[in-house]
Amino acid sequence: MGKHDHHEHHGASLADAARHNLEASGEKWTETRAAIFEALSGFSRPASAYDIAELVSTARGKRVAPNSVYRILDLFVAKNLAMRVESANAYLANSHPGCEHDCIFLVCDTCGEATHIDDDALSSKVRDVAQEQGFSSIRPVIEVRGVCQKCS
């Protein structure tokens, strides 16, 4: 295994891919879920549930509670529509919701941008080590903190 090519979605194509994958998993693509996904996919860096709740509340003209947003974001992560940057408690839309990968991020401590890396060989090695230690239901999350090229 290793790196591979896959189709990155953007804009309406990304929303369509997300909707297709969510509905294929047996979930409904509701108006609220669509609004939250649209807000999430509009951010260029990881967004918190509070950032998303504020944006959706402003767009709708009525308050959307961050707790509701968290529940939907957790569903999106479980269904591979979004990825969670654990150290920032923030989320990114998955630009290729049809591909499942472990979360490997390069996170800039200066600008906050998180770059998602697909490296199946690396995550496979982490899974192997975890299994050797008796872990099951393994979901590697690897975050490398530092300063990105733009900020250095």
Question: For residues 8 and 83, which has the higher predicted lDDT (pLDDT)?
Answer: 83
Query: What's the rounded Cα separation, in Å, for the pair 125 and 123?
Result: 5
Helix/strand/coil (H/E/C) assignment for every residue in the chain: CCCCCCCCCCHHHHHHHHHHHHHHCCCCCCHHHHHHHHHHHHCCCCECHHHHHHHHHHHHCCCCCHHHHHHHHHHHHHCCCEEEEHHHCEEEECCCCCCCCCEEEEEECCCCCEEECCCHHHHHHHHHHHHHCCCCCCCCEEEEEECCCCCC
Report, as an integer, the average pLDDT of 30-44: 94
pLDDT in tens, 53-106: 999 999 999 999 999 999 999 999 989 899 999 888 999 998 877 666 677 889
pLDDT in tens, 115-144: 888 888 888 899 899 999 999 877 788 899
pLDDT at 96: 74
The whole model's pTM is what? 0.80
Query: What's the rounded Cα separation, in Å, for the pair 120 and 99?
Result: 12
